[in-house]
C-alpha cells in the first residue's frame, strides 16, 4: 500500500497556479497530469492558440520536444532485449561515419588540434549521453567547434530542433562525422547530440526508418495513435500553436502555426531527440508502461530489468557536477532520461523523466510513486527551469500528502 496520496485541495491549488500563468498571457494554454497509482488527474486550461479561444481539449496535440528522448531510448532497449544490439557494442559497424574518431585536445582547440579516441563509441555511450559530442555551455560561436557545427547546419549543440534541418539522416551523420569529438567517449555527459545519433543507429539496425521503428515498438503496442513525427492533414485542427518569446522583451510571436506547420509534412531528418508530437493520454500510456516495469494492458515492450537500467543514475559525481545546468542539483542520468542522483531523496522534479524545449516536463518519483506531466506550447530559451515549471513542481509536491492524512480527512465528520 502506498504511503502517499494526492490531496483534493492540493490539486485545486495546482489548477489555480497553472491558470494564473495562462491568465497572465504568458501562454494560451496547457495541460497537466498528476498521478499516484490509479489516481490520475488531467486538467486542461486555456486554448490552443491566442487567435482561437476555443477551450483546449484533452485530445489536443503538443510538440513534446525533448520528451522524445526517453521514447527513443525505450525503442533502443527493446532491440537490446531481442539481441539485435548490445549496450557495449561499438557503433562503428552501423555508423561507419563515426569510426576512428579524433578528439579535440581542448574544447577551445582548432579542429585539427586533436588526438585519437581512446576507444570506439558504444550504444551505452549514446544512451548515457557520454558520446563525447553535445551542447556547449558558451555563447554561440565562442569556440571553433561551435562555429563549424553551425556552418554544417546540424542544429545539434546550440539550439532547438526547429526549424527542421535541410539534411536527411545520412547527410546529417556524414556532416557530424566530419567533426572531431569534443571529449573522449565516456568522459563527459553532453546534451542532445547522442539522441540524434541514436535514432539513426536504430533505423539502420532495424532496416526501417526511425518513424516505423518507434511506431512498431512503442506507439502501436501502447495505443499511442497521436504520437509521431507528423500530424495527419485531417488532424491538424488538434495541433496547438507554438510560440517563441522575444529575447529582449519576452513578447510572443508565432513559432509554428497549424495552418502551415512544419509537422504537416514528414521531415527529411526525423530527429529522434526532439521532433515528436503527442497528447497527454498518449504520453501517459508511455510513462505508465515504465512505472509498471515495461508492461501495459498485457503488452510487454520491456523487461523490468531494462526499465531499472534506464531509470538508474549512471553518472559519476564529477559528471553530474559538470552538467548541473541541465540536470539540476538532484538528478543524474540513466539511459535516455534523467534519473535521481545516487542517494537522492529530494522531491520532484528529482525522479526519472525529462524536460523539453517547448515547456514540457515529466518526472516520476520512485519513492512517492507520484508522476507529473506538463505539456505547453511556449518555447523556452534556457535549460534553467521556467517559473511555470517551478510552480508546477512546487504545486505537485504540495498536493502529495501522507496517505493516512487523506484517510483521516475522508473519515472526518
pLDDT in tens, 331-343: 999 999 999 998 8
Cell numbers representing residue 349 in the block: 522534479
Of 46 and 250, the structure prediction assigns the larger pLDDT to: 46
**pLDDT tens, position by position, 149-208:** 999 999 999 878 889 999 999 999 999 999 999 999 999 999 999 999 999 999 999 999
Q: Report yes or no: 60 and 170 within 8 Å, Cβ to Cβ.
A: no
For the chain, give the mean pLDDT: 95
**pLDDT tens, position by position, 96-120:** 999 999 999 999 999 999 999 999 9
- Per-residue b/e over 174-201, b at no fewer than 16 CB within 10 Å? ebbbebbbbbbbbbbbbbbbbbbbbbbb
Cα(395)–Cα(10) distance, integer angstroms: 7
Q: Report yes or no: 350 and 58 within 8 Å, Cβ to Cβ.
A: no
**Residue range 132-153: mean pLDDT, rounded:** 96
Percent of the chain with pLDDT over 90: 92
Kind plus residue range of the DSSP H or E element containing 191: none
Res 11: pLDDT? 98
**pLDDT tens, position by position, 354-374:** 999 999 999 999 999 999 999
Q: Which of 337, 292, 295 is nearest to 313 (CA)?
A: 337
**Residue range 136-144: mean pLDDT, rounded:** 94
Cell numbers representing residue 329 in the block: 542539483
Is a pLDDT exceeding 90 seen at residue 412? Answer: no
Cell numbers representing residue 305 in the block: 530489468
Cα(125)–Cα(131) distance, integer angstroms: 5
**pLDDT tens, position by position, 303-355:** 999 999 999 999 999 999 999 999 999 999 999 999 999 888 899 999 999 99
**pLDDT tens, position by position, 246-269:** 988 889 999 999 999 999 999 999
**Residue range 283-288: mean pLDDT, rounded:** 98
Res 2: pLDDT? 66
**pLDDT tens, position by position, 219-236:** 999 999 999 999 999 999
**Residue range 141-150: mean pLDDT, rounded:** 97
Amino acid at each position: 500500500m502506498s504511503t502517499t496520496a494526492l490531496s483534493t485541495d492540493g490539486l485545486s491549488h495546482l489548477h489555480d497556479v497553472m491558470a494564473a500563468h495562462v491568465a497572465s498571457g504568458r501562454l494560451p494554454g496547457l495541460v497537466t497530469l498528476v498521478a499516484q497509482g490509479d489516481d490520475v488527474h488531467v486538467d486542461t486550461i486555456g486554448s490552443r492558440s491566442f487567435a482561437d479561444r476555443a477551450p483546449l481539449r484533452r485530445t489536443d496535440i503538443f510538440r513534446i520536444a525533448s520528451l522524445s528522448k526517453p521514447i527513443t531510448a525505450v525503442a533502443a532497449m527493446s532491440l537490446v532485449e531481442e539481441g539485435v544490439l548490445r549496450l557495449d557494442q561499438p557503433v562503428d559497424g552501423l555508423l561507419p561515419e563515426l569510426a576512428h574518431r579524433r578528439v579535440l585536445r581542448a574544447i577551445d582547440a582548432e579542429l585539427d588540434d586533436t588526438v585519437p579516441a581512446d576507444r570506439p563509441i558504444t550504444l551505452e555511450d549514446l544512451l548515457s549521453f557520454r558520446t563525447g559530442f553535445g551542447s556547449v555551455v558558451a555563447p554561440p560561436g565562442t569556440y571553433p567547434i561551435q562555429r563549424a557545427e553551425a556552418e554544417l547546419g546540424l542544429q545539434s549543440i546550440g539550439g532547438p530542433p526547429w526549424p527542421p534541418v535541410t539534411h536527411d539522416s545520412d547527410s546529417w551523420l556524414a556532416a557530424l562525422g566530419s567533426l572531431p569529438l569534443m571529449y573522449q567517449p565516456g568522459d563527459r555527459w553532453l546534451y542532445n547530440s547522442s539522441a540524434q545519433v541514436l535514432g539513426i543507429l536504430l533505423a539502420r539496425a532495424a532496416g526501417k526508418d526511425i518513424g516505423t521503428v518507434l511506431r512498431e515498438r512503442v506507439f502501436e503496442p501502447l495505443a499511442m495513435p497521436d504520437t509521431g513525427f507528423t500530424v495527419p492533414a485531417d488532424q491538424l485542427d488538434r495541433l496547438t500553436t507554438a510560440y517563441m518569446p522575444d529575447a529582449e522583451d519576452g513578447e510572443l510571436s508565432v513559432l509554428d502555426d497549424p495552418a502551415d506547420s512544419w509537422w504537416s509534412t514528414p521531415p527529411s531528418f526525423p530527429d529522434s531527440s526532439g521532433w515528436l508530437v503527442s497528447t497527454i493520454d498518449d504520453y501517459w500510456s508511455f510513462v505508465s508502461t515504465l512505472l509498471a516495469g515495461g508492461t501495459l494492458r498485457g503488452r510487454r515492450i520491456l523487461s523490468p530489468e531494462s526499465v531499472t537500467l534506464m531509470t538508474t543514475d549512471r553518472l559519476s559525481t564529477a559528471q553530474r557536477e559538470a552538467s548541473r545546468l541541465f540536470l539540476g542539483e538532484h538528478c543524474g542520468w540513466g539511459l535516455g532520461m534523467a534519473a535521481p542522483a545516487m542517494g537522492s531523496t529530494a522531491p520532484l522534479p528529482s525522479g526519472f523523466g525529462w524536460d523539453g524545449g517547448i515547456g514540457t516536463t515529466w518526472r516520476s518519483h520512485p519513492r512517492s510513486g507520484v508522476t507529473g506531466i506538463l505539456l505547453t506550447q511556449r518555447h523556452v530559451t534556457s535549460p534553467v527551469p521556467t517559473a511555470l515549471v517551478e510552480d508546477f513542481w512546487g504545486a505537485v509536491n504540495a498536493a502529495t500528502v501522507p496517505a493516512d492524512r487523506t484517510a483521516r480527512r475522508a473519515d472526518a465528520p
